[in-house]
Amino acid sequence: MAQLFRRRSNSIARTSLVAIVAFFGASAWVLHAVYWSPWTTRQDNPLPQPVPFSHKHHVRGLGLDCRLCHTTVETSAFAGMPSTETCMTCHSQVWKDAPLLAPVRDSFAANAPLRWNRVHDTPDFVFFNHGIHVAKGIGCASCHGEIDQMPLTRQSHSLYMKWCLDCHRQPERFIRPRDQVFSSDYEPTNQASLGKQLVADYHVRTAQITDCSMCHR
């Protein structure tokens, strides 16, 4: 009786074994790569906006405070988006005929709101609150990155839960004095000792802030 399998079969079988492992490995790697890629997280990916608003110009260049426009960042879950009226406070005087600002003027004239694309978007089952983060000494830049360097606003971090937990597990690595929350130039020299001190001073409940119920309800 002739051999059922040729000699070649051995190598096919061996190769297949490797190939199967490699295939699943590669698939896993691809899924992982896609999941963490900026394509999925929208990280570092400026979105088109009705007006190409530049934080770099307004914050770095003009030195405006975050709270001038994001008025409710200290009091509400939502940081607040400036009303058209806020824009027009200056832009009825400055650059009042700039073609780039036409949508703002139109919005004000027609009483029709601007529709911005949301850059930082957490899923609907996540309840983030700006007010408490500001009150506990988490700087804007800790989550929003070097927004003062961005000509077009983009998301600096993945906003995945793992990233949130990096801080919720070790707030002392990121906490800063309350008076430095809105600063773009804050450079701590002694974060290791200062962080621990601030966590204690600001009564950050370190055990509690990793509870599911902190963000999900």
Partner 1 sequence: MIDDPRSPRTAGSRPPAGDPRSAIWRSLSELSDPKHFRELTRDEFLPGASELNRFNRRNFLKLMGASLALAGLPACTRQPLEKIVPYVRQPEELVPGRPLYFATAMTLGGFATGLIAESHEGHPTKLEGNPGHPASLGATNVFHQAALLDLYDPDRSKAVLKDGRPDTWENFVAALNGIVRPTGKGRGLRLLTETVTSPTLYSQVQKLRERFPGLTWHRFEPIGRDNVREGAKLAFGEIVETRFHFDKTSVVVSLDSDFLYSHPDSVRYARDFSARRRARPAQTEMNRLYIVESAPTITGANADHRLPVRHADIEPFARALAIGIGAISDPALRLPPPVFEKWITTLKDDLLSCRGRSIIIAGDNQPPVVHAIAHHLNHFLGNVGNTVEFIAPAEPEPVDQLASLRQLADALQNGDVETLVILGGNPAFTAPAEMRFADSLKHAKFTAHLSPDVNETSARCDWHVPQNHFLESWSDARAFDGTVSVIQPLILPLYQGRSAHELLDALFAAPGRTDYDIVRDHWNSQNPGADFESRWRQALHDGFIADTASPPKKVGLRSSGIPASHGDPAGLEITFRPDPTLLDGRFANNGWLQELPKPIVQLVWDNAAYVSPALARQKDLANGDVIELSLDQRHIRVPVWITPGQPDDSVALHFGYGRQHVGQVGRNTGTDVYPFRTSATFWTAHGVALKKTGGNHHLVTRQAQQVIDSDERQILREGTFEQFQRRPDFVRRDSESPVETLFNPPGSPGDGYRWGMAIDLTACIGCAACTLACQAENNIPTVGKDQVAAGRIMHWIRVDAYFRGTPENPAVTHQPVPCMHCEQAPCEVVCPVAATMHDQEGLNVQVYNRCVGTRYCSNNCPYKVRRFNFFDYADYTTPGFKPMRNPNVTVRWRGVMEKCTYCIQRISAARITAEEQDRRIRDGELRTACQQVCPTEAIVFGDLNDPDSRVTRLKAHPLNYLMLGQLNTRPRTTYLAKLRNPNPGLT
For the chain, first and last CA: distance in Å? 70
Reduce the DSSP state of residue 124 to 3 states and report it.
coil
What is the rounded (10 degree) CA torsion for 132, 133, 135, 139?
Answer: -160
Total residues binding partner 1 (CB under 8 A): 47
Check binding of 212 to partner 1 (CB under 8 A): yes
Minimum distance from CB of 163 to partner 1 (Å)?
15
Please pick, from the candidates 11, 15, 16, 40, the single residue that binds partner 1 as defined by CB under 8 A: 40
Do residues 170 and 53 touch, judged by C-beta distance below 8 A? no
In the complex, what is the shortest distance from the CB of residue 60 to partner 1, in angstroms, rounded to a whole number? 23
Query: Interaction with partner 1 in 75-94: which residues (CB under 8 A)?
Result: 75-78, 80-86
- Least Å distance, CB 115 to partner 1, is 5
Which residues face 155 on adjacent strands?
A: 43
Q: How far is the CB of 203 from partner 1 (least distance, A)?
A: 7
Site string for partner 1, 165-204 (x = CB under 8 A): --------------------------------------x-
Per the rule left: phi > 0, alpha: psi between -120 and 50, beta: everything else, 107 is alpha
What CA–CA distance (Å, rounded) separates 32 from 30?
Answer: 5
Nearest approach, Cβ of residue 76 and partner 1 (Å): 4
CA–CA separation, 73 vs 131, rounded Å? 6
Per CB under 8 A, which region of 56-64, 131-139, 166-174, 177-185 contacts partner 1?
Answer: 131-139
- The residue (of 116 and 186) whose beta carbon lies closer to partner 1 is 116
Task: Give 43's strand partners.
Answer: 155
How far apart are the C-alpha atoms of 175 and 69, rounded to whole Å? 23
Closest CA to 160 of 31, 27, 34, 35: 35
User: Is the CB of 5 or the CB of 125 nearer to partner 1?
Assistant: 125
Nearest to 212 by CA among 142, 157, 164: 164
Q: For residue 162, state whether it binds partner 1 (rule: CB under 8 A).
A: no
Burial label, 85 (beta-carbon count in 10 A; 0-12, 13-18, 19+): exposed
125 sits near partner 1 (criterion: CB under 8 A): yes
**Binding status of residue 136 toward partner 1 by CB under 8 A:** yes
| Residue ranges binding partner 1 (CB under 8 A) | 34, 39-40, 42, 47, 72, 75-78, 80-86, 107-108, 111-118, 121, 123-125, 127, 129, 131-132, 135-136, 203, 205, 207-208, 211-214, 216-217
